[in-house]
Structures are given as C-alpha cells and as structure tokens.
A and B are shown apart, each in its own frame.
Chain A
C-alpha cells in the first residue's frame, strides 16, 4: 500500500510541488487505479518478462535540416519566460 511518504518521494522525483490536500487526494485515487491495473498479473505473472524490448526499430536521418543561426531566434525568445539580450534567463546555479 502506498503511503503519503511514497507520494512525497514520487512528487520529488517528478519535480512537482504538491499541497497536503493534493497528496491526500492522489493517495486516495492512485490506490484503486493500481489495484485495477494489477489484473494484468492474471496473464503476465508466469510469462518471461526478461527480454521484452518491443518490436520497434530506430529510424535515423542525416542532420541536414540545420537552419541558419538566428532564423527562429525571435520566435523562441518571445516564448521565454525571462530573457535578456536574446539569452534565456535562469537563476544562478552555483
């Protein structure tokens, strides 16, 4: 069973601040959902789960779509929450 401290840990991993009320609600909601999805064990419990990379393949292409420097700068900068002289502004890291 999940507890509030588990929700805390998951929220920290997911970089989301949650209010106490939100945590209680999540705890209440997630329990039944996990209970429901556990029914896959009826079929999957005895199956070999080791290899299982799905049947997908990587498709690559040459990096030949480079646009000239500055082409989209204005559009990018307009969407930035904070900017200065066409640079994205963030808080000091060190």
Chain B
C-alpha cells in the first residue's frame, strides 16, 4: 500500500526513481481513493478513462532513465484548462460537450514532464464564484465537513488535493480562486505574478487579472508545480520574459508588514483574528521582523474588482453564442439563436456579471464606473509599491471566515463577493500571493482549516516559498 496521505512530489519521485512502486501503482492508489470518496465529495467532473495508460507511458519513460521530477505524478486539472482531445466545459452547460482542440501551454509543459492527468475538476461556472455552487453540475463538498463548501472557484482542485484524490492540482485565480479554496480545505495554493504563467488555453474570465497556479499539500509541492508551468510564451503576450530566479533559503529572516487599518475594517470572524495574531507571534519567534504598514486604498479593492471583472466578463463571454461550438438552441432566426442559446447555456451568476458588465461599460456610465475603477486600481497598485520599498512580505488572513455552509450565501451575491476581501487586491496589483494552512477552528467537533496569505512584490515567488516553508517548518 502506498501511503498517499503523507505523500509529497519529492517522496513519490524518489520512490518512482528507485522502483519502490510504479506510476501505474501510484495512479491505482489515487483511483481507489476516488472510488471510495468522490461520489460524496464531487471534486471531479470527469475521471479520465485512460489514467492507467498514461501511467504506463510514464513508467516506460522512467525505465528508459528519462525521469523528471513530475514524471508519473498524478495531477488534477481545473475544467477551464484545455487538454487536447478531452472535454473542457468550465462547469457550464454551454460547453457540456466541448472537446479541446489544442493543449494549453501549461498542459504542454506537463505532458513533456510525463505527468498523469487524473481528471478535470469541478469549479464555479467559468470561474465566477467562491464556492463551486455556481457549477452547472453540482457543488463540491468540503473534505473536512460535507455540509460546507470547498471554496471556489477552483474548489474541485482544492478538494481533490486535500482528500488525496490527486497529489497536486492546477487551478486559476482571478480574485482568490486558488487561495480561498486552499484555505478552506487546509492546503497550499499559489497565485503567481500576473504574467508568470502562460494563459494560452485557459478560458478567460477577467483577462487583466487571471493567472493559472498550483495547489499542493506542501509549499514544496506547489513550488515544484509552479516551476514546471511558469515561463515566457509567445502564445500569451502578457507573459514576462524569463529571468533567472535565485532560490531563497527557508532560514532567511524577512521584514513582514501587517496592514492594520485594512484588518480593522470589521466583518472578520474573531477566530480568524485570533489565529492571525498567533501566526504573527510565531513568525516573530522564528526571527522575522513584524511591522505595521498602511495600505490606505485597499478598502476600495472589492468595489474596483466588481466593476472591472463584470466589464471584462461581458466581453469575454460574448464568444459563447452557440454559433461555432457549444450548445445551440434554435430560435426563429440567426440572432434569436444567440438569445436562446445564451439563455439556456449560461447560469445565473454568469448572466448577472454579463448584465452588470454591459451596464458599467455602456455609454454614459463608462466614465463613472470603468474609468474610475481603473484609476483607483492604480492607487491600490501604488500602495503596494510603496509598501514593498520597506518590507519584503505583507501578511493578511486569506479569508474573513472559515468555509461557509452550502447554501448560506448563494442567494446574496454581494455577501458572496465580500468573501474575497483579502484576496482580490493582489490580483488588481498583479503581484504574487500564497495561502498556507495556519490552524483550525473547532466547530461541532470538526477541525475546520484557516489560512494566512503571504504577499510579495512582482516576481518574488521565491520569497513566498521561503517564508511559507519557514512558517510551516518545511525544509
């Protein structure tokens, strides 16, 4: 029996290299776990039928001595990332039968490494939401408490890793969609610098904010996956040019800034504040310097975000019209086909954002909303820029509360949006942030995870890995 509960990429890699077990045996262990628990959790929308064949290919690669760090490693992929020849639905009805005709750049890279794709994971439709309740195919339950959400939008990927249904997973993060579910499920999730990872082949939601990123049970696993997928790509003009980045020792002491004003706004659960203060104390004991900093414009982040995102959504979603691919519902004429197909194929949150975006971009309101939002976005970015002149890392909780109950916020979109308060500003500024487990809240005998978020300056992911490993005691 392979102990998948305590497995890391490094451990699996060593075992595969030494021949302690095969990639097939490793894949079988995960498939067995999926069979046992995923009917209840619903992390996967589809478990691929050729997992064992993929693992056999990996075994052949290992036998021929060409093993890479990720060869034979079982990975789950969010349903908005394209794998050639496989369905990619973004958990939407409109793409229910859509088959990808090319590989996303991140997939191409992982295929070269010889990973084993286990399946595609559940998510909020087109990544719009924070709980996977907006999936057209049902919610993903939290592995720790089945009455609660796994978070979102990449809830399926987070639940898959937390419940040992894959060793690592890919997600996408537009306003917290990797970090928030990582926090809710008690694992590690990284939102890389805007432009660090190519988005060629991921379905666009908010194009000025979207990034693909990794989930892992450890910081090292997330780091390995990030290093495997990052890099400049001529197919995504927003990618940054490759730079040599130095690995930073996990013993390095950092100056860590705490945005006190932003944390005192209210609306944060007492257990989260307590855990956060304990985390600060722990960091201090580890030798880091903790200072208070001011990020005065951060309080406008959510307002800015919920103007910019619907605006970008309303244009990105225009392509889903039932003409060239996807669900088509026949109307009285060609134009009517659009109306009927979009009515039938898109869910409530997607429609809400399209209508909202159409409004904020419409003539007469463009200046009042979209233009002003872009100006305030620059103020927020400038706040961080100024802060990073003085500190190496900024720290906040990842979420204002633990995973909420299924159905609790689904009928109040504004309440759901407020969940993103700590994660959204990072995407607006394009900087990287990582969520790591920081403790538990005991609720009715269940240990519900909490997370803290480390934030660093552009392209300083290595700083995040170092401080996170130090915090978690990882070597």
A1-29 contact mask (Cβ, 8 Å, vs B): 1 or 0: 01000110011011111100010011001
By a CB distance below 8 angstroms, the chain B residues around A66 are none
Q: Contact at A79–B342, with CB atoms within 8 Å? A: no
* Residue B343 lies at the interface, judged by CB distance under 8 Å to chain A: yes
Q: Please count the residue pairs between chain A and chain B whose beta carbons lie under 8 angstroms apart in the complex.
A: 136
Q: Contact at B101–A72, with CB atoms within 8 Å? A: yes
Q: Contact at A37–B303, with CB atoms within 8 Å? A: yes
Q: Contact at A36–B326, with CB atoms within 8 Å? A: no
CA distance in complex: A47, B376 (Å): 10
By a CB distance below 8 angstroms, the chain B residues around A78 are 99
Interface hits, B339-366 → A, CB 8 Å: 339-340, 342-343, 346, 348, 351-352, 354-356, 358-359, 362
Q: Contact at A16–B234, with CB atoms within 8 Å? A: no
* Residue B136 lies at the interface, judged by CB distance under 8 Å to chain A: no
Q: Contact at A14–B358, with CB atoms within 8 Å? A: yes
CA distance in complex: A13, B334 (Å): 15
Interface size on A, as a range, is 35 or more
CA distance in complex: A42, B340 (Å): 40
CA distance in complex: A26, B357 (Å): 13
Q: Contact at B338–A91, with CB atoms within 8 Å? A: no
By a CB distance below 8 angstroms, the chain B residues around A54 are 208, 374, 377-378
Q: Contact at A33–B323, with CB atoms within 8 Å? A: no
CA distance in complex: A54, B430 (Å): 13
Q: Contact at B367–A22, with CB atoms within 8 Å? A: no
Q: Contact at B300–A43, with CB atoms within 8 Å? A: yes
Q: Contact at B325–A15, with CB atoms within 8 Å? A: no
Q: Contact at A30–B334, with CB atoms within 8 Å? A: no
CB distance from B385 to the nearest CB of A (A): 12
Q: Contact at A25–B297, with CB atoms within 8 Å? A: no
* Residue B321 lies at the interface, judged by CB distance under 8 Å to chain A: yes
Name the one of A2, A14, A38, A82 contacting B354, with C-beta atoms under 8 angstroms: A14
CB distance from B319 to the nearest CB of A (A): 11
Name the one of B208, B346, B352, B375 contacting A30, with C-beta atoms under 8 angstroms: B352
Q: Contact at B362–A13, with CB atoms within 8 Å? A: yes
By a CB distance below 8 angstroms, the chain B residues around A10 are 355, 358-359, 362
Max count, chain B CB within 10 A of own CB: residue among A22, A29, A90: A29
CB distance from A53 to the nearest CB of B (A): 9
By a CB distance below 8 angstroms, the chain A residues around B325 are 76, 79-81
Q: Contact at A17–B303, with CB atoms within 8 Å? A: no
Q: Per DSSP, are chain B's interface residues mostly helix, strand or loop, or mixed?
A: helix
By a CB distance below 8 angstroms, the chain B residues around A75 are 99, 101
* Residue A69 lies at the interface, judged by CB distance under 8 Å to chain B: no
Q: Contact at A14–B314, with CB atoms within 8 Å? A: yes
CA distance in complex: A6, B300 (Å): 27
CA distance in complex: A79, B413 (Å): 33
By a CB distance below 8 angstroms, the chain A residues around B359 are 2, 6, 10, 30, 34
Residue of A nearest to B418 (CB): A36
Name the one of B101, B327, B333 contacting A81, with C-beta atoms under 8 angstroms: B327
By a CB distance below 8 angstroms, the chain A residues around B374 are 52, 54
B138-158 contact mask (Cβ, 8 Å, vs A): 1 or 0: 000000000000000000000
Q: Contact at B300–A42, with CB atoms within 8 Å? A: yes
Interface hits, A41-85 → B, CB 8 Å: 41-44, 47, 49, 52, 54, 58-61, 72, 75-76, 78-82
Residue of A nearest to B379 (CB): A43
By a CB distance below 8 angstroms, the chain A residues around B321 are 15
A14-B342, A80-B324 are known; give 19 further A-B pairs, CB within 8 A.
Answer: A7-B355, A10-B359, A10-B362, A15-B339, A17-B340, A33-B306, A34-B356, A34-B359, A36-B303, A40-B303, A44-B375, A49-B371, A49-B375, A52-B375, A54-B374, A61-B234, A79-B324, A79-B325, A90-B337
**Chain B residues with a Cβ under 8 A of chain A:** 98-99, 101, 208, 234, 237, 297, 300, 302-304, 306-307, 314, 318, 321-328, 333-335, 337-340, 342-343, 346, 348, 351-352, 354-356, 358-359, 362, 367, 369, 371-379, 413-414, 417
What would be 18 A-B contacts, judged by CB atoms less than 8 Å apart? Answer: A13-B358, A14-B314, A14-B355, A16-B351, A17-B343, A25-B348, A29-B352, A30-B356, A33-B306, A41-B372, A49-B371, A72-B101, A75-B99, A76-B324, A80-B324, A81-B326, A91-B334, A93-B334
**Chain A residues with a Cβ under 8 A of chain B:** 2, 6-7, 10-11, 13-18, 22, 25-26, 29-30, 32-34, 36-44, 47, 49, 52, 54, 58-61, 72, 75-76, 78-82, 88, 90-93
State the 4 A-B residue pairs at the shortest beta-carbon distance, nearest first. Answer: A81-B328, A59-B237, A44-B372, A75-B101
